[in-house]
């Protein structure tokens, strides 16, 4: 694109941030409070969860709360986006199933996530030293622990002190009591020596830093009207705006990071989605926090005479080593919960208990672990509730005690079945660590662009035997627990023909990697402070710098790393090194 077609924004900012999720929000808060003038580019619209759909009943909508193309997790879900966005394609190599979730809105995916807020443990930073696979991080748990502590204190996270070495304790708020079905799960797991402990979720169980405690409506995925759960706009962007140092441009689709003749970033060019025109804004420092793969895409598209292979990519590692959590699920009807007494067990919008990884991988045939997320109970019914009652009520007895010939039905008996079955299902979802591999990557597709003419990503990704065997272990574990609870399975156990029900890569929405950190510029994109090796005023503050996945959700580590990176930026600015 020739220069005369690009409109120059007159003001130069100290920092330009691309993205407004966990990393972008944290960067904005820390840097504006330090006095920096910051511009945030966000591809989507403004969003305030206080004005969301938290208190709408599914039955009040003709769709009964069903998901849409624009809201994949439900009609009232707080995420604007999904795995397919109109005008924003991505492609896959042959044999790849990778699905890429994007949420175009202020706060991004922090508006609807499950708030599972787990620290990586000491072992998670040195897996190669333990099992010889992948690579160690250039930092240790001790390097990031002070920032985990600061995130806990700022945001608020409930949990319990357990003293588990690789599940580090935090500065916890009181945990909510387990629901009835969760107590049954714990009882069954105790009998077979599988731990069940209070969850660690960033939802307030008491007032904290000016935010109200959770009122237990259990609709966290819709965004919180009282800002009682964590989202970037509620906890990070609001305080950043209050400094007067933050400017937000919504509807700004970043095209590339521009660089000067020395290869340093000079700013960011973007498309204004309202008028379709290209603009350029100058920044002394550029922070990419658009999500792991989106930031990688920006860097790949930022080519120049200095960065011929993409920004900070002379190593060819940019886009490599992407991972997503493994995922698989199983559920059953629990007889002890049939004909349950009507009561409110809403609680927080998520599990009150969970199972951390409890085994030694050296004694197993797969290298990395997983945690178990526990679900079920009397949540709000909506479209597709119970995945079709005909698959469940066929397991009930007829009024005369005989076996029913089939499921479904109508009239009074169907209504009674719905009451009998309501809240009687318990399920488990495993979330495991995938080993980072060089041949799992995203790259620029040379033949496809999005609606703004920006080249798109092409994914190449497969699961290894380690992940498949791990998911088989998940399914065996789920079956053991549910059987111990007397569970009635409504579907067949996934077998080898479906790789034991493993979710397609990208479906768990924990993708990290693509701009991995390391001490050696020949095998990494950024250094231990998430600073680009070959453009010292460019930083990546999302999941991109992760060296490995861990069996934990990545958000808490993104927040901690971003805070650490911004403290480094402030120090380097004071020393006039940036």
Coil/strand/helix, residue 257: strand
CA pair distance 551, 315, nearest whole angstrom: 28
Average pLDDT rounded to a whole number, residues 217-242? 94
The residues, ordered by sequence, that sit 6+ positions from 118 with a Cβ below 8 Å of its Cβ are: 167, 200, 371, 552, 553, 556
Mean pLDDT of the chain: 95
Query: What pLDDT was estimated at residue 70?
Result: 81
- pLDDT higher than threshold 80 for residue 535: yes
Reported as type and span, the H/E element at residue 50 is none
Q: CB count, 10 Å around CB of 401?
A: 6
Q: How would residue 1 be classed by pLDDT, with cut points 50, 70 and 90?
A: very low
CA pair distance 362, 368, nearest whole angstrom: 9
As beta bridge partners, residue 158 has 173, 201
- pLDDT higher than threshold 90 for residue 103: yes
Helix intervals (H) in 194-286: 232, 238-242
Q: How would residue 101 be classed by pLDDT, with cut points 50, 70 and 90?
A: very high
Check: CB of residue 464 under 8 Å from CB of residue 426.
Answer: no
Q: How would residue 63 be classed by pLDDT, with cut points 50, 70 and 90?
A: confident
Q: How would residue 30 be classed by pLDDT, with cut points 50, 70 and 90?
A: very high
Please, what sign has the CA dihedral across residues 441, 317, 30, 138?
Answer: positive
Reported as type and span, the H/E element at residue 559 is helix 555-574
- pLDDT higher than threshold 90 for residue 71: no
Closest among 208, 201, 231 to 77, alpha carbons compared: 231
Average pLDDT rounded to a whole number, residues 229-236? 96
**What angle in degrees, to the nearest 10, is found between the helix axes of 141-155 and 555-574?**
100
Check: CB of residue 210 under 8 Å from CB of residue 226.
Answer: no
What's the Cα-to-Cα distance from 453 to each of 41, 277, 303, 558, rounded to whole Å? 18, 11, 15, 30
- pLDDT higher than threshold 90 for residue 38: yes
- pLDDT higher than threshold 60 for residue 433: yes
- pLDDT higher than threshold 60 for residue 386: yes
pLDDT tens by residue, 521-530? 999 999 999 9
Q: Give me 503's structure tokens.
A: 């979710």
- pLDDT higher than threshold 80 for residue 325: yes
Query: What pLDDT was estimated at residue 395?
Result: 86
- pLDDT higher than threshold 70 for residue 416: yes
Average pLDDT rounded to a whole number, residues 231-250? 97
SS (H, E, C) 259-271: ECCCCCEEEEEEE
6 CB-side CA count, 13 A: 18
Coil/strand/helix, residue 184: helix
Q: How would residue 506 be classed by pLDDT, with cut points 50, 70 and 90?
A: very high
CA pair distance 192, 181, nearest whole angstrom: 17
The pTM for the full model equals: 0.97
- pLDDT higher than threshold 60 for residue 4: no
Helix intervals (H) in 208-342: 232, 238-242, 292-300
User: What phi and psi values does residue 112 have, to the nearest 5 degrees?
Assistant: -130, 0
Average pLDDT rounded to a whole number, residues 190-219? 96
Q: Give me 491's structure tokens.
A: 């579907």
Average pLDDT rounded to a whole number, residues 80-93? 95
From the centroid of its chain, how far is CA 366? Answer: 24
Q: How would residue 209 be classed by pLDDT, with cut points 50, 70 and 90?
A: very high
CA pair distance 188, 182, nearest whole angstrom: 10
- pLDDT higher than threshold 50 for residue 462: yes
Closest among 141, 109, 146, 340 to 223, alpha carbons compared: 109
Query: What pLDDT was estimated at residue 2?
Result: 47
Percent of the chain exceeding pLDDT 70 equals: 99
Residue length of the chain = 578
As beta bridge partners, residue 287 has 17, 539
Average pLDDT rounded to a whole number, residues 450-464? 98
């Amino acid at each position: 694109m020739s220069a005369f077609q690009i409109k120059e924004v007159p003001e130069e900012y100290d920092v330009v941030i691309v993205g407004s999720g966990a990393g972008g929000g944290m960067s904005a808060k820390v840097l504006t409070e330090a006095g920096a003038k910051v511009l945030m580019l966000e591809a989507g619209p403004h969003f305030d969860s206080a004005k969301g759909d938290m208190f709408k009943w599914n039955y009040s909508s003709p769709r009964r709360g069903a998901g849409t193309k624009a809201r994949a997790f439900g009609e009232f879900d707080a995420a604007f986006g999904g795995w397919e966005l109109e005008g924003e394609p991505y492609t896959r190599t042959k044999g790849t199933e990778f699905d890429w979730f994007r949420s175009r809105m202020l706060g991004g995916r922090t508006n609807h996530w499950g708030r599972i807020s787990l620290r990586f443990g000491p072992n998670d930073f040195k897996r190669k030293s333990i099992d010889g696979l992948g690579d160690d991080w250039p930092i240790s748990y001790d390097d990031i622990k002070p920032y985990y502590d600061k995130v806990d204190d700022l945001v608020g996270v409930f949990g319990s002190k357990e003293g588990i070495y690789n599940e580090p304790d935090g500065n916890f708020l009181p945990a909510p009591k387990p629901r009835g079905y969760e107590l049954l799960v714990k009882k069954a797991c105790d009998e077979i020596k599988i731990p069940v402990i209070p969850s660690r979720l960033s939802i307030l169980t008491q007032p904290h830093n000016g935010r109200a405690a959770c009122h237990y409506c259990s609709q966290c995925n819709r965004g919180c009207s009282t800002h009682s759960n964590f989202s970037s706009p509620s906890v990070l962007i609001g305080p950043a705006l209050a400094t007067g140092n933050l400017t937000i441009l919504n509807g700004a689709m970043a095209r590339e990071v521009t660089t000067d003749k020395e290869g340093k970033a000079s700013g960011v060019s973007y498309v204004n989605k309202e008028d379709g025109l290209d603009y350029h804004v100058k920044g002394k420092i550029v922070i990419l926090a658009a999500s792991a793969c989106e930031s990688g895409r920006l860097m790949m598209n930022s080519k120049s005479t200095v960065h011929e292979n993409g920004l900070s990519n002379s190593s060819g590692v940019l886009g490599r080593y992407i991972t997503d959590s493994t995922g698989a699920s199983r559920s059953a009807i629990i007889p002890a919960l049939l004909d349950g007494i009507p009561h409110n067990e809403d609680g927080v919008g998520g599990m009150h208990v969970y199972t951390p990884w409890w085994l030694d991988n050296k004694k197993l045939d797969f290298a990395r672990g997983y945690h178990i997320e526990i679900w079920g109970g009397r949540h709000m019914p909506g479209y597709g509730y119970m995945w079709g009652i005909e698959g469940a009520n066929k397991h009930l007895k007829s009024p005369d005690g005989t076996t029913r010939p089939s499921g479904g039905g109508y009239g009074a008996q169907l209504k009674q079945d719905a009451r009998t079955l309501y809240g009687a299902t318990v399920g488990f979802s495993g979330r495991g660590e995938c080993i980072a591999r060089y041949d799992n990557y995203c790259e620029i597709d040379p033949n496809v662009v999005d609606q703004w003419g920006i080249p798109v990503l092409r994914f190449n990704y497969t699961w290894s035997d380690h992940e498949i065997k791990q998911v088989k272990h998940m399914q065996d574990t789920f079956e053991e627990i549910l059987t111990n609870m007397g569970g009635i399975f409504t579907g067949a156990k996934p077998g080898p023909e479906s790789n034991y029900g493993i979710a397609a890569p990208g479906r768990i929405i924990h993708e990290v990697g693509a701009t991995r950190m390391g001490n050696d510029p020949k095998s990494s994109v950024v250094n231990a402070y998430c600073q680009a090796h070959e453009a010292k005023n460019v930083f990546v503050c999302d999941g991109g710098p992760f060296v490995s996945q861990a069996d934990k959700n990545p958000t808490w580590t993104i927040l901690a790393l971003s805070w650490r990176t911004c403290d480094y930026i402030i120090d380097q600015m004071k020393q006039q090194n940036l």
